[in-house]
Amino acid sequence: EVIGFANKLERAVKRTIEDGIMTKDLALIAEPKVDKYVYTEEFIRAVKDRLDKEEEIR
């Protein structure tokens, strides 16, 4: 059960970043360059929202 959640969390984080939602530390090293970034709390909220949406689909 824990491994399943970890895999879902990893997928949600990756997809959130791929959608251009990331913290400043990631934005500074992203390729291509990203001008916009969010605060940590906003990033965590975006990941949670994505997790919630994926759970609704299943």
Question: What are the pLDDT tens digits along the chain (58 aa)?
Answer: 899 999 999 999 999 999 999 999 999 999 999 999 999 999 999 999 999 998 888 6
Interatomic CA distance for residues 20 and 37, integer angstroms: 8
Output the pLDDT for position 56.
86
Output the pLDDT for position 45.
98
Interatomic CA distance for residues 46 and 44, integer angstroms: 5
DSSP-derived secondary structure letter, 19: T
